[in-house]
Amino acid sequence: TRRETYADAVKPSVCPFCGVGCQTEVSVKGNDIIKVDGRQGPANRGKLCVKGRFGMDYVMSPERLTRPLIRRSDVPKDAHARMTFSDISDVFREASWEEAMALAAGGFNTVRDRDGGHAIAGFGSAKGTNEEAYLFQKYIRQGFGTNNVDHCTRLCHASSVAALMEGVGSGAVSAPFTAADDSDCIMVIGARPEQNHPVAATYLKQAAKRGANLMVFDPRRQGLMRHATHPVVFKPGTDVPMLNAMIHTIIFEKLYDIQYIQANTEGFEALKEKVKDFSPEAMAEMCGVEAEYLRELARTFARSSKSIIFWGMGISQHVHGTDNARCLIALSLITGQIGRPGTGLHPLRGQNNVQGASDAGLIPMVYPNYKSVEDPDIRGKYEDAWGRSLDPAKGLTVVEIMGEVEAGNIKAMYVQGENPAMSDPDQNHARKALATLEHLVVQDIFLTETAWFADVILPASAQPEKPGTYTNSNRQVQLALPVRQPPGEARQDWEIMVDMARRSGLDWNYSGVGEVYTEMAAHMSSLDNISWNRLEREGMVCYPAKTEDGPGEEIIFYSGFPTESGRAKLVPTDLVPPDELPDDAFPMVLTTGRMLEHWHTGAMTRRATHLNAQESEAVVSMHPKDIGRRGLTRGQQVVVETRRGEVTLTLRADRDVTQGMLFIPFCFVEAPANFLTNPQLDPFGKIPEFKFSAARIRSAGAA
Ligand code: SF4
């Protein structure tokens, strides 16, 4: 073809964006990526969305970091508020790797020796490889004797994982999104897969087209509702009463699967007692959904022979996020809609490797494979393997770490590929905290908003430049090899971490990424029978894999659950309102999220030419009737304000946004939505309530 003759090579890879994990083939000319096509991967079957197909030129951005940078001693950390890339030399000077690494590791060693390891924390990345995640948490734990290591799972599905671990003994999906091929009823709640998991959305639409019931629950209308048999627009923050009303219907209309419940679960009587008061009639007004419709939804889900649930951050990012997920688990269990083809529980994972990074132990409470740091036997095994005494207590989570930084108790941070100066809630506090750090090392490919606060910046590799494995939302472990070289003096992340560890006194000697994988897999029974050699041969293996050559198990929980009793736990939930309800001063509900063209904080996609051309302006979306009622005009500049701060952006009319609500994507550095969001945490998953803040809006310039 013309492309093949024009390109120097066409190389296999994996998409670096969302958790779908589409396999790609990348056409390269010289060191440039000139085209990306879909491969026949198990997750994408040849398809790609706009991000995977047209968003890869971020790796060739002139804003890539190519040399280590050290902060100029006379530039205070709060002086960069309006800096742009062209100001880089005013704030930082270029340095050799030797000087930068000595300063980076030396700063951590100084704090450790003076204040102890608990004065240090690390944010690893869900965008990097499994091997990088493993090495990062090992460096923080082994090098500094603290479990203060976390990553962005805390901001996306930590509450889902908490509920899944408690309920079914595993934090991963029970079935892939392609299980929708076999489903009669698909429930999508708190997720907008057309925007955030577009290739996964195609399976849901195809299922609806062949006649499956598609129930789409969202406080905002969305495109997937056009394909739905049952669109459900409900009041924000009322997931628990709505889902409990469905559970009530199933139990009191005796639509449950008693044989499944008796053989596989515990806690049914307590659940029945709890939902007694949650009749659809009692909950309808609170949820904004008619009682009879709630009953129909429950009946459809329970009576279908194969029902599956997909959910996203609309479920998890609440102070009652764990309770929301507990309700979904209960719905699935009491109807026996799990452990068979076409059934199951699937939290749609946001980043390309958030599943893998979590599995690899980039979490403050657990070592790899979710093994508790508080269990002395497990800790003893790691102490033997790593030759150091380890912290016996859970570490702090993302938002807790920023609180301790602000309080002066954490003095040094290592941030690899994360961007808390955009992603954390209540940015006035988060950025103030970053500015107070005595020592901040940022390892990234761009000068992110977080990097502006750094003392040392280490230029790293983009996904298409590094070797390693990624685990997608479906538990499919996929190997990707480099398709281009990192620019300038940028180095492989894993090599930087090994260098850091050695300079912190650790005896790390890895010959390559394969050796790191092998060490990691030895700690993780989930990776049994998935060797590096096998991944080199097959490219992808789904875990768990029972044999060294057979396929992995895409659907789990055929018989029993990996809990102590072997049974799944039904956990009753109660009403917990959003932390901050609208009032006269802040009468609207602000919700935040992502958009099709931009991925998370926008560090990559805002630098992707075509994607940024599509959506280049910071916007707040509002229903046209609300716009008219407030005397505003679409396209004008407005100020959105909450009790924590304000941002100025362009007003967009959007009928999908329910009246009384505002929606702001969190990818725009010009107007960071997280200056507005509420840092209040779900008590179990420690996830902030990004999806619900009381807010107000006014014309820019008006008092
Ligand atoms: Fe990449 Fe996700 Fe789009 Fe697939 S659906 S191409 S993994 S962003």
Angle 522-527-533 (CA atoms, 0-180°, nearest 5)? 80
The answer, yes or no, to whether residue 155 has pLDDT greater than 90, is: no
Judge residue 361's burial from the number of C-beta atoms within 10 Å of its C-beta, 0-12 exposed, 13-18 middle, 19 or more buried: buried
Output the CA 49–ligand 1 centroid distance in Å. 5
pLDDT on residue 82:
58
Ligand 1 atom closest to Cα of residue 199: 5
DSSP 654: -
Query: φ, ψ for residue 589 (rounded to 5)?
Result: -105, 120
Output the CA 480–ligand 1 centroid distance in Å. 15
Ligand 1 atom closest to Cα of residue 16: 1
Residue % of the chain over a pLDDT of 90: 91
* Sign of the torsion angle spanned by Cα atoms 422, 423, 426, 432: negative
Least confident of 260-274, 367-381, 582-596, 679-693: 679-693
Ligand 1 atom closest to Cα of residue 52: 6
Mutate to test the pocket of ligand 1, among 23, 45, 47, 49 (most ligand atoms within 8 A of CB): 49
Q: Taking the complete model, does pTM exceed 0.80, yes or no? A: yes
**Complex prediction ipTM:** 1.00
Ligand 1 atom closest to Cα of residue 50: 3
The mean pLDDT of 131-144, rounded to a whole number, is 98
- Name the CA radius of gyration of the chain, rounded: 24
Ligand 1 site residues, Cβ closer than 6 angstroms: 15, 17-18, 20-22, 44, 48-49, 51-52, 197-199
Q: Going by C-beta distance under 8 Å and a sequence separation of 6 or more, which residues neighbour residue 114? A: none
Picking from 687, 172, 124, 195, the residue whose alpha carbon sits closest to that of residue 471 is 172
Three-class SS string for 529-584?
CCCHHHHHHHCEEECCCCCCCCCCCCCCCCCCCCCCCCCEECCCCCCCCCCCCCCC
Ligand 1 atom closest to Cα of residue 15: 1
Residue whose CA is at the smallest distance from ligand 1 atom 2:
18
> pLDDT by residue (tens digit) across 70-108?
999 888 887 566 567 888 898 999 999 999 999 999 999
Amino acid occupying residue 383: E
Place of tokens 């909950």: 283
CB 498 within 8 A of CB 159: no
Output the CA 53–ligand 1 centroid distance in Å. 8
Output the CA 153–ligand 1 centroid distance in Å. 18
> pLDDT by residue (tens digit) across 616-665?
999 999 999 999 999 999 999 999 999 999 999 999 999 999 999 999 99
Mutate to test the pocket of ligand 1, among 13, 24, 199 (most ligand atoms within 8 A of CB): 199
Output the CA 21–ligand 1 centroid distance in Å. 6
Output the CA 413–ligand 1 centroid distance in Å. 31
Least confident of 68-82, 136-150, 351-365, 468-482: 68-82
> pLDDT by residue (tens digit) across 395-432?
999 989 999 999 999 999 999 999 999 998 998 889 99
Output the CA 19–ligand 1 centroid distance in Å. 7
pLDDT on residue 561:
96
Kindly provide the b/e burial profile for residues 454-490, where b requires at least 16 CB atoms within 10 angstroms of the residue's own CB. Answer: bbbbbbbbbbbbbbbbbbbbbbbbbbbebbbebbeeb
Output the CA 52–ligand 1 centroid distance in Å. 5
Ligand 1 atom closest to Cα of residue 38: 6
The answer, yes or no, to whether residue 535 has pLDDT greater than 90, is: yes
Output the CA 595–ligand 1 centroid distance in Å. 13
The answer, yes or no, to whether residue 685 has pLDDT greater than 90, is: no
- Mean pLDDT over each residue of the chain, to the nearest integer: 95
Task: Give the integer Cα–Cα distance in Å for 689 and 700.
Answer: 27
